[in-house]
Structure 1
């Protein structure tokens, strides 16, 4: 094992150990106001971006920005092939940047547009995507990048194509995360087909067939879809009887990532498994803290999704 992997594994464990964890998130969630929750947040690593946060949306974004910063720090400690391993795992931030570009009405209180997440070495094609002036140009830029053609240039087609491509890229490039990627793809397709009733763009159908099997991608009903899924996704949706209950599968997905990530972090040595485990633990912690802030904003009343993970 190279010195870069050893250093990266040590750094990965150190970053994960600093997380507030379930206990810290519960304390934040129990705060009677968002202001009190932000004071609690100041004692955590999320303070880096949360100092100037005003309101729930900015506070949650600060938590996400801190997660991205930690991934960038971790990438800097890894050898080049290790840093490349993190790119698909961080691809959700690039999707979020594109979503913000497609929704210009999303403004901060000052009237200024939100700055994009700074991806650094973890970007896939953001610099080219950021130069696209129209949805058609954005589609062309995606098609010429590792993202691939999303199959259309409406906001829904662009973002759905990117999200499905993120699952495909993760499943191919990160063996330790393949089960998570397959289950994530199943959640995405289930919502699009059986909640929103949409016809999938051709590239999304191809990726769905590749990850979930041709029978799942062609299923005529939610029950048929659920019953022919690959094991990681079928297990996730086993107790979800109707599409309206998919939020339970979402919470279950995060629990799976939490448990698998902790096991990788605990049992791995100085290699990719430890790094992927740390990314999972860091990502779950950020998701949990974002949910805790929302609970505090409601006066300390946690929602069902937070309870399911905390």
Structure 2
């Protein structure tokens, strides 16, 4: 590997060393108020973006913005092929921007979009859409492809499944996570929300999970028909309304697998992908802890599942 990968892996490990840590979410979660929880994070990398007077949604968004900044810093240290590797892993930020834009069409306030820089796929084009139809048209002419309709559900479900598909096809060390994510998204849409996947989303899901699983008639049948590469994501879940436990476990797998990739001594894509996984799981823990604190503290059941 070239000097760019060496520098990138060194930077990746340095960023992870500054993480709030596996137990970071537990401390704010145990606090009685959001303000107290924010003070507990003051010395972490999230602290400088957190303000005591902010609402929960704002501080959670600030935590996510810190993660995005970390990924952009990491991308800046990598060769171009490394930055291209990170782009699919950061797709959730562009999807969040699209979701906010869709809500604004119905009159909801639109927060400042996440600043994606080189990690954006098509946001520079999408941000100019003024109607749902214009947004769909912009997506159709971008690498995202046509979501099949301009409703929020069609757009967001298709983008999330397309992101999983892209990760599976282009980021080798992350394939397990992407396929597991697709299984969870499919299960939630089919067996919790009670609706089939939109056409383009189904195409991505079939590529990831196979048509036998996607067309399963019930959740038990779905679990049995999943390929082994995806079945782990729903193992032990008998009722689709318990999928939240599987989703929490997905984050645990992300963190554990990421830590394993970070220990690989070679300078190359694997440790960098591992760093992205660990940083992402860390941010998720902190956001979850802040939400519990905003509710007055309480059960740490979700956090217990991932630490």
- Does the alignment pair 1:55 with 2:52? no
Query: Shift of residue 267 of structure 1?
Result: 2.0
Q: Is the 8 A contact 2:35 2:52 kept in 1?
A: no
Query: Structure 1 residue 234 and structure 2 residue 226: aligned?
Result: no
Give 1:194 shift.
1.0
**Segments of 4+ moved more than 3 angstroms:** none
Matches of 2:51 and 2:61 in 1, distance apart?
12
Partner of 1:110: none
Where structure 1 has 5 or more consecutive residues not aligned to the other structure, the ranges are: 108-112
Aligned position for 2:191: 194
Distance 1:115 1:17 in 2: 29
Matches within 5 A, 1:90-105: 90-104=90-104, 105=107
Displacement of 1:17 in angstroms is 0.7
Give the corresponding residue for 1:165.
Answer: 162
Listed as ranges, the gaps of 5+ residues in structure 2 are none
| Aligned CA-pair RMSD | 1.3
Q: Distance in 2 between matches of 1:23 and 1:220?
A: 40
Deviation string for 1:81-106 (max 9, x for gaps)? 00010000000000000101111254
Q: Residues 101 and 53 (structure 1 numbering): CA distance in 2 closer, same or farther, change over 3 Å?
A: farther
Partner SS for 1:22 = coil
The CA deviation at 1:206 is: 1.1
* TM-score (normalizing by structure 2): 0.96
CA contact (8 A) 1:262 1:281 kept: yes
Q: Return the match for 1:304 from 291, 294, 301.
A: 301
Equivalent in 230, 247, 250 of residue 244 of structure 2: 247
TM-score (norm 1): 0.95
Equivalent residues, number: 305
Number of the residue aligned with 1:30: 30
Structure 1 CA distance, aligned partners of 2:224 and 2:121? 34
TM-superposed deviation, 1:53:
5.8
1:154 aligns with 2:151: yes
